[in-house]
Structure 1
Amino acid sequence: MSPDASPDPYDDPVRFGQRVQIYRNRRGMTREQLAGLLGHHESWVKKVESGKLKVPRLPELFRIAEALRVRHLNDLVGEIGGEPEIGLFTGPGHARLPAVRAAIDAFPFTADREAPSTAYLRAALDAAWAARHQSPNHREVLGDLLPGLIRDAQLAVRQADTGAERRTAQALLSEVYSLTQFFVAYQPDAALLWRVAERGMVAAQESEDLHAIGIAAWLSAQAHRDSGPGHFDAADAVTTEALRLLEPGLEEAPLKVRAIVGALTFEAGYTAARRMESGTAWGWWDRADRIAQRLPADYFHPVTSFGRAVMGAHGVTVAVELRNGSESSRQADRAEAGAIRSRPRRARHRIEQARAYYLDGQYVTALATLEQAHEAAPETVRYNGYARRIVLEEAEARSPERRQRASRLALDIGMLAA
């Protein structure tokens, strides 16, 4: 090669330790913070990043990937022998994703039909939310419904005759985007997720509907937080601003607005737990629980699942994110999954319980709990990175029984070919 030619970037591949350092910096983490999440001393992280330690074994790699929110293991270790990428926190692309993406991306400037009434759209949305909560494979259901719902809601906004009609249609469109975000989440198209979240927020603000704004803020805060520690401030900002708007006059507000305030309050605690701020996290949980206790005993918010029944599940999540093994398992033991009416949310709770038991060293119980999650909603387990990580780690366990059980789960949730 000529000395004047551009060098091949693959002639000097980036080492594992350099990749860890790059992702840590991108997430805004110090070495001390990463070490704390992994249960190591800061000097261990320094040795990994400098190359003084070899690439860790698979279980440790999964823990590093989880802490850094790296979605593909190959992004940490590079391409290994030409093997395909191993996704961690991104699930498989659903067969209906292209159709949903096409509906989101389309902006027809003319219409060859009349928009459905807002009453029809409201009934269709209610039915879609109910179908999502009742289905063991909610993306399959939503993938069929969303293209039509998106087009109908967009059409209703364009054909609104008055300001009031347009605001009502915008609130419905925002809620359609919220429903879409549940379908798009954890699929391999992060840019699409952000388009949906941002359009939902814009439509909600245009509607001036407090409930729609609260839902959009709730989902936006989650999207920011799931992007890593560097985005935690943005998650807090969205949550704080939404609470400032919604909390005045809360006692006289409709049930659904009070519930979304409770859900947002817990989100603040969830982010604090991800920051490892124990007192702050549990303080927000307590505030959310007080709101939940003032709701009817059987109340269930149709979007966030917020209500009394979900607070136990939220307690498990806080303890797990704080990496407190004994407290995590204590919360998991006391949280009643059966009271959660939504099948996907119940499965998500079971996964959080499994994380709690795994953190506490109760590996067999963790696998049994993942089996319960799979029974409630197989698709939720299939798209959940934490569940897949536990299954992959247990597939290498010393115990033959644990390996076999994990291998069966891997087949059941589609991680391996049967």
Structure 2
Amino acid sequence: MSSDATPDPLDHPLVFGQRMQVLRTRRGMSRTVLAGLLDKSPSWVKQIENGTLHTPGLPMILRIAEVLRVRDLAELTGDQSLPVDLFIGPGHAKLPAVRAAIDAFPLAADREAPSPAYLSARLESAWAARHSAPNHREVIGGLLPVLLRDAQLAVRQADRAAERRAAQAVLAEVYSLSQFFIAYQPDSALLWRVAERGMVAAQESEDPHAIGVAAWLAAQAHRDSGPAHFEAADAVTLETLRYLTPLLPDATHDVRAIAGALRFEAGYTAACRGDTGTAWGYWDTAGKVAERLPADYYHPVTSFSRAIMGAHAVTVAVELRAGGESVRQAAKADSKTIRSRPRRARHRIEEARGYQLDGQSETALAALDKAFEAAPETIRYNGYARRIILEETESKSPAHRRRAAELAVKIGMLAA
């Protein structure tokens, strides 16, 4: 077989280089493109793939895994004895209770359901608690089981069309809150169940805001599932924008904001594809939506606002693997204006990715320290943060290794 031929993925066992070639060709990526993203030569990629060079060390394996969007490290390394899902965090202690509330199928009602208005007020408080809490999964994991049961009950007991639509809108948003809790935990089937139920409840509600939020989260779920699902992410995003756009002239701030957030999501997906022009084009249109919102406005679910656009620019640059641009955008973004602690921590992680792309490993670790200060649970469940820490534990610099090891202990990476 020619060294340029693609090995058969079913021809087991494949060595590392063959697996890398299969995954690269599955993504439709040339050796030249992969080499550029890894700061290596096309010849180096070819020699790894045909076995002329030995398997690289852990930091490079992790970088290859990120570039090729590999979710389970065993898929790249072939070592099935120690599968490592790079984008799944630990299971939270409150996950079983939340799962039980989602999976419940009660038919009899032993009490009167709260009104949609009362549930909406409780939901608003739950979102506020999530944004202000450093350990946000702990907080909303305690609130969700009762909220889910009450919202489901309100839908079942609604006997008028208007009341039922209002209850469905609340239930859709409770499912949205649930997705924030479940994301990156070891139950992807539960995440998809909630995403689909949220979409159905939102459609039943006929509420533009509920529909927009459900679509925003569904698009993220598709994109996070890997390149094969990027088209599905775009389909959800663009169809929802077509629905919302005619409503915007008379819409509330929240509806206009979710439309802006969806425009950014389209740009985010384009950046993941490597489509620079489309990615920055959508970022720009999202920014124009943000500029038309009040200066102090902050969307209660997505954090969309004028303040968030700087953080979004860092994300676009990072996904485009543009290290220098990531650092320039990070210098312009003011994370202190991001009110949500988990969203602020997420921005710090994106900054860390940018600094590492630019070769500034020490600054990357400092950014992760700031992420931990803002919201420990965000960094604990973030695969990119864990990958950077793992890479830096292999650094040639003793100081970097020590700092990375300290972070690994703080976020619980070394727990059994």
TM-score, scaled to structure 2: 0.93
Match 1:340 to one of 338, 341, 344? 338
CA contact (8 A) 1:70 1:89 kept: no
CA distance in 2, matches of 1:109, 1:47: 62
**1:377 and 2:375 equivalent?**
yes
Q: Which moved more, 1:247-256 or 1:313-322?
A: 247-256
Match of 1:78 in 2: 78
- Alpha-carbon distance, 1:417 to partner: 4.3
Aligned residue type for 1:135? A
Q: Equivalents in 2 of 1:196, 1:306: separation in Å?
A: 22
CA RMSD of aligned residues (A): 2.0
Structure 2 spans left out of the alignment, 5+ residues: 1-10
Contact kept? 1:178, 1:216, Cα under 8 Å: yes
Q: 2:145 aligns to what?
A: 147
Partner of residue 388, structure 2: 390
Instruction: Tell me the residue number matched to 1:199.
Output: 197
Output one character per residue of 1:301-346: Cα deviation in whole Å (capped at 9) or x when no partner. Answer: 0000000010000000011111111111000111000000000000
Contact 1:28 1:229 in 2 (8 A): no
- Of 395, 403, 406, 1:405 maps to 403
- Structure 2 CA distance for aligned equivalents of residues 276 and 127 of structure 1: 39
Q: Does 1:277 align with 2:280?
A: no
Q: Could you tell me whether the CA contact under 8 Å between 2:98 and 2:141 is conserved in 1?
A: yes
1:63 CA displacement: 1.1
User: In 2, Cα distance between the equivalents of 1:149 and 1:26?
Assistant: 42
CA distance in 1, matches of 2:40, 2:376: 34
State the partner residue of 2:293.
295
Q: CA deviation at 1:180?
A: 0.4
Work out the CA distance in 2 between the residues paired with 1:192 and 1:254.
32
In structure 2, what is the equivalent of residue 15 of structure 1?
15
Q: In the TM superposition, what is the alpha-carbon distance from 1:52 to its structure 2 partner?
A: 3.9
How far did residue 19 of structure 1 move? Answer: 3.3
Q: CA deviation at 1:413?
A: 0.6
Task: Decide which moves more: 338-347 or 360-369.
Answer: 360-369
Aligned counterparts of 1:191 and 1:20: Cα–Cα separation in 2: 27
For the residues of structure 1 that align with 2:268 and 2:281, how far apart are their CA atoms? 11
Bigger shift: 258-267 or 42-51? 42-51
Query: How much has 1:242 moved relative to structure 2?
Result: 0.6
For residue 126 of structure 2, the aligned residue among 125, 128, 133 is 128
Listed as ranges, the gaps of 5+ residues in structure 1 are 1-10
Deviation at 1:251, TM superposition (A): 2.6
The answer to whether the 8 A contact 1:129-1:302 is kept is yes
For the residues of structure 2 that align with 1:168 and 1:417, how far apart are their CA atoms?
A: 44
Task: Find the counterpart in structure 2 of residue 320 from structure 1.
Answer: 318
Aligned match of 1:111 in 101, 109, 112? Answer: 109
**Overall identity of the aligned pairs, in %:** 70
CA distance in 1, matches of 2:22, 2:148: 39
- Provide TM-score, normalisation by structure 1: 0.92
Between 1:157-166 and 1:67-76, the stretch displaced more is 67-76
Residues 69, 227 of structure 2: 8 Å contact kept: no
Cα-to-partner distance string for 1:331-377 (whole Å, 9 max, x where unaligned): 01110000000000000001111111111111111111111110000
Distance across 2 between alignment mates of 1:45 and 1:101: 44
**Residue in 1 that maps onto 2:7:** none
Partner of 2:262: 264
| SS state at 2:105 partner | coil
The whole-number CA distance in structure 2 between the counterparts of 1:102 and 1:148 is: 11
For the 8 Å contact 2:230–2:269, the answer to whether it is kept is yes
Q: Which moved more, 1:63-72 or 1:194-203?
A: 63-72
* Aligned counterparts of 1:384 and 1:77: Cα–Cα separation in 2: 21
